[in-house]
Structure 1
Amino acid sequence: MKASRFFIATLKEAPADAEIVSHKLMIRSGMIRRAAGGIYSYMPLGLRSIRKVEAIVREEMNRAGAIELLMPAVQPGELWQESGRWEQYGPELLRLKDRNDRDFVVGPTHEEVVTDIARREIKSYRQLPVNFYQIQTKFRDEIRPRFGVMRGREFIMKDAYSFDKDAAGLQVSYQKMYDAYVRIFTRLGLHFRAVAADNGSIGGSGSHEFHVIAETGEDDIAYCADSSYAANVEQAEALPLLAGRAAPAEALHKTPTPGKAKCEAVAELLGIPLQRTVKSIVLAVDRDDGTDVWLLLVRGDHALNEVKASKVPGLAGFRFATEAEIVEWFGTPPGYLGPIQTKKPVRLVVDRTVANMSDFVCGANEVDFHYTGVNWGRDLPEPEVADLRNVVPGDPSPDGRGVLSMCRGIEVGHVFQLGTKYSDAMNATFLGENGKPQPIVMGCYGIGVTRILGAAIEQNFDERGIIWPESIAPFEVVLCPMGYDRSETVRAQTDRLYEALLAEDIDVILDDRGERPGVMFADWELIGVPHRLVIGERGLKEGKIEYQGRRDTQAELLTIEQVVSVVTGKIRAAKAV
Structure 2
Amino acid sequence: MRLSRSFLPTLKENPSEAQITSHRLMLRAGMIRQTAAGIYAWLPTGLRVLRNIANIVRQEQDAIGAQELLMPTMQSADLWKRSGRYDAYGPEMLRIQDRHERDMLFGPTNEEMVTDLFGQAIKSYKELPQVLYQIQWKFRDEVRPRFGVMRGREFYMKDAYSFDLDHAAAVDTYRRMMLSYLRTFQRLGVRAIPMRADTGPIGGELSHEFLILAPTGESGVFFDSALEEQDWVGENIDVNDRGALGAFFTNLTSFYAATDEMHDEAAWASVPAERRREGRGIEVGHIFNFGRKYTQSMDIAVSGPDGAPLHPEMGSYGIGVSRLVAAIIEASHDENGIIWPESVAPFRAVIINLKNGDTQCDAICEQLYAAAPGHLLYDDRAERAGAKFADADLLGHPWQLIVGPRGAKEGKVEVKNRRTGERTEETVEGALALIQKTGC
* Both proteins in one fold, TM over 0.5: yes
Q: Which residue of 2 aligns with 1:7?
A: 7
Cα distance 1:568–1:67, how it changes in 2: closer, same or farther (>3 A)?
same
- CA-to-aligned-CA distance 1:285-329 (integer Å, 9 cap, x gap): xxxxxxxxxxxxxxxxxxxxxxxxxxxxxxxxxxxxxxxxxxxxx
Is 1:436 the equivalent of 2:308?
yes
Structure 1 partner of 2:269? 395
Contact in 1 for aligned 2:163/2:315 (Cα 8 Å): yes
* Number of the residue aligned with 2:188: 188
Task: Go from structure 1 to structure 2 and tell me whether the alpha carbon gap of 1:202 and 1:402 turns closer, same or farther (over 3 Å shift).
Answer: farther
Tell me if 1:531 matches 2:402: no
Deviation at 1:395, TM superposition (A): 2.5
Question: CA, structure 1 residues 402+28, in 2 after alignment: closer, same or farther (shift >3 Å)?
Answer: closer
Q: Aligned-pair distance for 1:204?
A: 5.3
Q: Is 1:422 the equivalent of 2:290?
A: no
Deviation (angstroms), 1:457: 0.3
Map 1:293-308 to 2 at 5 A.
none
Number of paired residues? 413
Distance in 2 between the 1:214 and 1:43 partners? 25
Post-superposition offset of 1:19: 0.3
Structure whose residues are more often helix by fraction: 2
1:229 to 2:103 alignment:
no
Query: Secondary structure in 2 aligned to 1:163?
Result: strand
Mapped contact 2:364–2:411 kept (Cα < 8 A): no
Q: What is the aligned partner in structure 1 of residue 16 from structure 2?
A: 16
Contact 1:222/1:404 (<8 A) preserved: yes
Provide the residue aligned with 2:365 in structure 1.
494
| Match among 555, 560, 563 for residue 423 of structure 2 | 555
DSSP 3-state at the match of 1:552: coil
3-state SS of paired residue (1:534): strand
Is the partner of 2:60 in helix, strand or coil? helix
Residues 196, 236 of structure 1: 8 Å contact kept: no
Distance 2:377 2:274 in 1: 49
| 1:478 matched to 2:346 | no
Matched with 2:172 is 172
Moved more, 27-36 or 10-19: 10-19
**Does the C-alpha gap of structure 1 residues 204 and 552 become closer, same or farther in structure 2, counting only changes over 3 Å?**
same
**Aligned residue runs from structure 1 range 173-572, under 5 A:** 173-200=173-200, 205-226=205-226, 228-239=255-266, 395-397=269-271, 404-484=276-356, 486-502=357-373, 507-569=375-437, 571-572=438-439
Amino acid at match of 1:491: D
**1:394-438 Cα distance to aligned partner (Å, 9 max, x none):** 6324xx898643221100011011110111111111110100001
Letter aligned with residue 400 of structure 2: R
Q: Secondary structure at the match of 2:179?
A: helix
Quote the Cα distance in structure 2 between the aligned partners of 1:201 and 1:49: 36
Letter of the aligned partner of 2:368 in structure 1?
L
Structure 1 residues 112 and 35, CA, compared in 2 at 3 Å: closer, same or farther? Answer: same
2-side partners of 1:434 and 1:151: how far apart? Answer: 48
Contact 2:416 2:422 (8 Å CA) reproduced: yes
- Report the TM-score when normalising by structure 1: 0.69
Gap change, CA 1:134 and 1:203, over 3 Å in 2: farther
Partner of 1:249 in structure 2? none
Letter of the 1:12 partner, please give it: K
Answer whether contact 1:220 1:409 (CA < 8 A) is retained: yes
Greater mean deviation of Cα atoms: 184-193 or 539-548? 539-548
The answer as to whether partners of 2:348 and 2:435 remain within 8 angstroms in 1 is no
Deviation at residue 52 of structure 1 after TM alignment = 0.3
Which residue matches 1:84? 84
In the superposition, relative to structure 1, how do residues 225 and 4 fare at CA in structure 2: closer, same or farther (>3 Å)?
Answer: same
Amino acid at match of 1:464: N
CA distance in 1, matches of 2:64, 2:113: 22
How far off its partner does 1:555 sit? Answer: 2.7
Tell me which residue corresponds to 2:58: 58
SS in 1 for 2:86: helix
CA distance in 2 between partners of 1:561 and 1:440 (Å): 57
CA distance in 2 between partners of 1:487 and 1:498 (Å): 16
Find the counterpart in structure 2 of residue 49 from structure 1: 49
Identity of aligned residues (%): 47
Higher gyration radius (CA): 1
* 8 Å Cα contact 1:32/1:42 also seen in 2: yes
Superposed CA RMSD in Å reads 1.9
CA distance in structure 2 between the aligned counterparts of 1:512 and 1:16, rounded to whole angstroms = 30
* Separation (CA, whole Å) in 2 of partners of 1:403 and 1:64: 33
Distance in 1 (CA, whole Å) between partners of 2:55 and 2:371 is 24
Letter matched to residue 510 of structure 1: Y
